[in-house]
Each structure stands twice: as structure tokens, then as C-alpha cells.
Amino acid sequence: MIQTILSQAVEAARPAAELGQTATYIPELGKMDKHHLGACVFTWEGERCCAGDTDVRFSIQSISKVISLAAALELCGYDTVFERVGMEPSGEAFNAMGKLEAVGSTPSNPMINAGAIAVDSYLEPKISFEEMLSFTRKLCMDPQIVLDEKVYHSEMSHISRNRAIAYLLENTGVIRSDVERTLDFYVRMCSLSITAESLAGLGLVLAGDGVHPATGERLLSPDTVRVVKTIMLTCGMYDGSGTFAVQVGIPSKSGVGGGILSVVDGRMGIGIFGPALDGKGNSVAGIQVLRTLSRELHLHIFDPSEHR
């Protein structure tokens, strides 16, 4: 049943790609064919359903914020992470500077650029990028994940806004480590090359409370997973998070590479790839696929329990 619904949802959503554009502000991302669309659903019972362009590799971008937040919670602890980063939806664009220049101000949440850069500033002194890459491969159940050098260099060549954000954070005391090392770490994490299947794997680990579904190994603590999923629900779709929560109701995180990671607690992980973005930076066709899956499979977090 899931495979049929998924295939139909992907085909029905394909025309929506015409309504969006690729993320040309990072030149390498702008080269992606905006008509790509793929979706995967991995269930806790072992079912793996895929439709469309699910083996095409693309840039993880802001979905890496989920992995960095999880790692920071594990390595630095809840109190350290949220001492100088908030938990509230910002209502602003993902790369907004907002009121960061004000003394005592802090980033709204870890899913916007300012918050993620701050989180990476706590994480970078404690773990190498190579160790984070290995951690990401395990969480996504994808040993083929690598750094996309072209995306990395393209993003580093167009980093002025994020550099400004980072130095504002240093100026107000939010960042207390080396700014340039933090920025390099942040961009490397955003430049990992993944597939929709990688995201479905990560979603399944989060849906399983941090346990690897095949090996039974605990990769994340239950407390870390609870925090991550909650912030995904409230802040994961940029300044479209509230509308998405009402219409779809699945904890999710998007990236301007076209990916969406979604987690159906205790049931499944969903990975989407559709690089045509709306004005908020979310995959246009990907959101349409998720609306259909949520409706047809009763995945909304507040659907009546008898429908699940």
C-alpha cells in the first residue's frame, strides 16, 4: 500500500517543480536539474519503498543542522547547547541577521543559520570533521556519503552573509571559539553529498528513538532524539514551519539542496529530494508529496489514534 501511495504522490507532485527555482545563491546548487523528484519511506518493520530520483546525490545543506544538533547534545550537553541558543521559531528567513547585533541577543533556534553556526562553534573543538562524517554515515545508514568538494568551494566563495553572522555572534559572546574554523566546519557539514535514501535512513533512526534498526546499536540517547524531533516540528521548515505543522504535521527539516528529512515517530523515516524551492527555501514538490503521504497514511502527529 505504501509503495502505491508513494509512487502516485511523486508523479502527482512533479509538475509543482515548475513553481520553484534552485538555490542559485550558491552557484553549484543552481546547476541542479530542478525537475528531479524522489521520495523514500523506510519503515521500522523493514519495508523500503522508493519512487523517482532517489539515488541522485545532492547537497545536504541545512539538514546537517539536525546531525550537528544531535552530536552537540551528546558531546556538549543540553545546558551548554541552549545556554546561548534559543528554542523558539524565528518567523524570519533562515539566513536572517535579525537583532544579532544587540548585546545579550541570541539566535532563535538551532535550525536557522545563526543558531547552527553557534552550535557548530561548541562542537568543532570537540570533534573533527572526519569523525562527524563517520557519524553521519552511520546515522544515515549510508557509507557512501562524502564531502562534495565542488559545493564546498562554491559555498566558501559565497560566504559573506554567514561570515557576517558568525562575527556578530562572536561580538555578542555567543561564539567563544575560532570563528573561521567554525565556519569551515559548518560549510563542510552543509556540503555532504546524500540521497533521498540517506535521509529516509536518518529519519528511521530518529523514529526508532536513536537506535539503528538493523544492528540494534544505540546511536543517540532518547533525550537527544526527543529534543531534536521537537525542534524539527516547530522550526525545521524555516519560516514556513507553522503552516507545514498544520498541513502536514510531521517533524521535518528541509535544506536548500532540495532535501526534506521527515520522522514519523515509532513508524518510519521519510527522505525527499526535489531541488525546486519555494520562496522560503523549501522543496515545492517535496512538500506536496508529504502532504499526500500525511493525508493518505494518516501520519499527522495529531491524527486520531484509531487512524494510525
CA distances from 108 to 112, 117, 198, 303 (A): 8, 12, 28, 29
What CA–CA distance (Å, rounded) separates 220 from 237? 23
- Phi and psi, residue 48, nearest 5°: -125, 110
Q: Say if residues 233 and 251 touch (Cβ distance below 8 Å).
A: yes
Closest to 141 in 3D by CA, of 49, 212, 54: 212
What single-letter amino acid sits at 94? F
Residues annotated as catalytic are 62, 65, 186, 238, 256
Question: Which residues on adjacent β-strands are paired with residue 264?
Answer: 268
